[in-house]
Amino acid sequence: MTAPRHFLQLSDFSRDELEHLFARTRWIKSEFKSYRRYWPLVDRTLAMIFEKQSTRTRLSFEAGMHQLGGAAIYLNTKDTQLGRGEPVEDAAQVISRMVDIVMIRTYEQSIVERFAAHSRVPVINGLTNEYHPCQILADIFTFAEQRGSLRGKTVAWIGDANNVFNTWLQAAPLFDFKLNVSSPDGYAVDAARIAAVGRNHVETFADPMDAARGAALVTTDVWTSMGFESEGDARKRAFEDWQVDGEMMRAASADALFMHCLPAHRGEEVTAEVIDGPQSVVWDEAENRLHTQKALMEFLVLGRIETQ
Ligand code: CP
Ligand code: NVA
């Protein structure tokens, strides 16, 4: 049996494979919008394992699998034996004998890696503390729909250097753009991650306004990610000045877009003026989780299908 492909980090896929996913996403989205049925995954089953909460990820994978003709099963770790200490390796052996593809949302990246190492079927990272690769698929696809290629452009990340940021960092060399990042003292980007990407593709700024200057895309995320709730009060104080507001958007390029993976906290990391304003594409971004992940599941289960 050949080892299955997994999507645990964005960098698990080559630029060519990611471009293939985007081409398939365009076609799958267009067929869906035209009410044409596309059921390549009839009789295939997706298991979705959630150890953290979710709205978009659950809905987009579950609806996406149904729309591809297959079935999706929601498993919450609290309701399974995983929540009672069954080893991840054992769960992977069993679950992957019963379904065709698995999506996991959990804490440490090592958990999805251990699961994948013992899985007979492809495993998708639906968010870990370190990465959120499905989110960046949707974000780059959304940018391409609105503005074209990111090549040579600047993306500004304002705020916590978290899982979504780490994934943008992997995207920068793959798609040849520059990532400007500004985070408060004590929450700075891990130096090893910057070194891994190289200074051509990432620059850190003390002042978030400087990070935003000239950017084609300004993006941010919550000040406190899932799993870090106990730090919430300290983070509220530390991140007070790392809010994307109208002034920051005016410092960016005149046609800059605003993105946020959601859920958002208006009045914290972003003002209502920005997220509900004309430069914001957050609803398209959320919708594109559905279309990009359908292309991802098609690729992982069936391999490369060329668009006619
Ligand atoms: N952006 C995102 O992954 O949202 P959910 O937490 O609702 O899945
Ligand atoms: N960084 C956030 C993203 C939620 C989709 C978190 O990990 O909670």
- What is the full per-residue pLDDT of the chain (308 aa) written as tens digits? 789 999 999 999 999 999 999 999 999 999 999 999 999 999 999 999 999 999 999 999 999 999 999 999 999 999 999 999 999 999 999 999 999 999 999 999 999 999 999 999 999 999 999 999 999 999 999 999 999 999 999 999 999 999 999 999 999 999 999 999 999 999 999 999 999 998 899 999 999 999 999 999 999 999 999 999 999 999 999 999 999 999 999 999 999 999 999 999 999 999 999 999 999 999 999 999 999 999 999 999 999 999 98
Does one domain contain both 25 and 140?
no
Q: Is 20 a catalytic residue?
A: no
Q: How many domains does the chain have?
A: 2
Q: Domain limits at 88?
A: 10-132+288-302
Q: Is 105 a catalytic residue?
A: yes
Answer whether residue 202 is part of any domain.
yes
- Candidates 61, 104, 167, 226: which one to mutate for ligand 2, based on the most atoms within 8 Å of Cβ? 226
The rounded Å distance from CA 262 to ligand 1 centre is 6
Does one domain contain both 59 and 185?
no
By alpha-carbon position, which residue is closest to atom 1 of ligand 1?
261
Q: Is 261 a catalytic residue?
A: yes
Print the SS3 string covering the chain.
CCCCCCECCHHHCCHHHHHHHHHHHHHHHHHHHCCCCCCCCCCCEEEEEECCCCCHHHHHHHHHHHHCCCEEEEEEHHHCHHHHCCCHHHHHHHHHHHCCEEEEECCCHHHHHHHHHCCCCCEEECCCCCCCHHHHHHHHHHHHHHHCCCCCCEEEEECCCCHHHHHHHHHHHHHCCEEEEECCCCCCCCHHHHHHHCCCCEEECCCHHHHHCCCCEEEECCCCCCCCHHHHHHHHHHCCCCCECHHHHHHCCCCCEEEECCCCCECCCECHHHHCCCCECHHHHHHHHHHHHHHHHHHHHHCCCCCC
Answer whether residue 307 is part of any domain.
no
Does one domain contain both 210 and 122?
no
Does one domain contain both 261 and 295?
no
Answer whether residue 4 is part of any domain.
no
Does one domain contain both 94 and 161?
no
Does one domain contain both 117 and 149?
no
pTM for the full model? 0.98
